[in-house]
Amino acid sequence: DGGITQSPKYLFRKEGQNVTLSCEQNLNHDAMYWYRQDPGQGLRLIYYSQIVNDFQKGDIAEGYSVSREKKESFPLTVTSAQKNPTAFYLCASSIAADEPYEQYFGPGTRLTVT
Amino acid sequence: KNQVEQSPQSLIILEGKNCTLQCNYTVSPFSNLRWYKQDTGRGPVSLTIMTFSENTKSNGRYTATLDADTKQSSLHITASQLSDSASYICVVIEFSGGYNKLIFGAGTRLAVHP
């Protein structure tokens, strides 16, 4: 898991509530990413950030929002607009996004919405 | 559209035996290919990274091969151990618009039995 922490490990929410997942890294990486993992599917990119105060939508950004106010932190908010929020969420970071540097993953947060 | 296909979906082998996992991809332009190991409920951890000019790369008991002409890769595990039980994910890097995008396969779930 390197120097990336995600909290909490498990999260339970009622439908209709927004929830924020934490991701912190101490690797001094410029780029950070959020992925969603569902059973039987590959990881899918939600949002990524190449530098502080900048972020871009990934393939499945609808119903999610992010911020990048600090280099170390890239929180993900799952809004009530996300139709199927129950999933395993993984945060990652890399030195930069414009070269194929390795991405290091956090331990993940399993979100269950009922 | 699934650009990275892995087979088999799941595999059971006995401890000490060898196995080979397959990955076919259609991603273009192709930057490099990686194999990750993901333990249940954890984030993926990189095993090997290969550029398009490399044919093979080893990491201990793990050996990855790449045929960029046929767009196929394999991961060979030698003398399997119980701790090898995990999902193995093939990831192809697509370089597009100044950004290196990771395209994930769905993974092969390996179970090593005593």
- Three-class secondary structure of residue A106 per DSSP: coil
User: Percentage of chain B surpassing pLDDT 70?
Assistant: 96
Q: Above 60 in pLDDT, residue A35?
A: yes
The pLDDT tens digits for B13-52 are 999 999 999 999 998 877 889 999 999 999 999 999 998 8
Residues 6 or more apart whose Cβ sits within 8 Å of residue B54: B66
Q: Above 60 in pLDDT, residue B98?
A: yes
- Three-class secondary structure of residue B84 per DSSP: helix
CB A35, CB A90: distance < 8 Å: yes
pLDDT of residue A97: 80
Comparison of pLDDT for B96 and A112, the residue scoring more: A112
Distance, in angstroms, between A106 CA and closest chain B CA? 6
B32 to chain A: which residues are within 8 Å by CB? 100
- Report, as an integer, the average pLDDT of B69-93: 96
Closest residue in A to B5 (Cα) is A42
pLDDT of residue A2: 52
A108 to chain B: which residues are within 8 Å by CB? 41-43
B93 to chain A: which residues are within 8 Å by CB? 100
- Three-class secondary structure of residue A3 per DSSP: coil
Which of A45, A39, A51, A40 shows the shortest CA–CA distance to B103?
A: A45
Report phi then psi at B97, rounded to 5: 60, 35
Output the DSSP codes for A22-84.
EEEE-S--SEEEEEEE-TTS--EEEEEEEETTEEEE-TT-TTEEE--SBTTB--EEE-TT-S-
| Inter-chain residue contact B42 with A45, CB threshold 8 Å | no
CB B33, CB B4: distance < 8 Å: no
CA angle, B101 as apex, A74 and A89 as ends, to 5°? 40
What band does B1 get if pLDDT is binned at 50, 70 and 90? low
Q: Above 70 in pLDDT, residue B54?
A: yes
Q: Tell me the residue length of chain A.
A: 114
- Report, as an integer, the average pLDDT of B56-74: 95
**Burial grade of A11 (CB within 10 A; 0-12, 13-18, 19 or more):** middle
State how far Cα B17 lies from the chain centre: 18
Place of tokens 């991603």: B27
Report phi then psi at A56, rounded to 5: -130, 150
The pLDDT tens digits for A36-92 are 999 888 999 999 999 999 999 999 999 999 999 999 999 999 998 899 999 999 999
pLDDT of residue B94: 85
The pLDDT tens digits for A91-107 are 999 998 877 788 999 99
- Mean pLDDT, chain B, rounded, equals 93
CA angle, A44 as apex, B34 and A42 as ends, to 5°? 60
Of A44, A97, A108, the CB nearest to B99: A97
Q: How many CA atoms lie within 13 A of B32 on its CB side?
A: 16
pLDDT of residue B52: 84
**Burial grade of B10 (CB within 10 A; 0-12, 13-18, 19 or more):** exposed
The helix or strand, by DSSP H or E, that contains position B55, with its residue range, turns out to be none
Distance, in angstroms, between B71 CA and closest chain A CA? 18
What band does B2 get if pLDDT is binned at 50, 70 and 90? low
A44 to chain B: which residues are within 8 Å by CB? 104
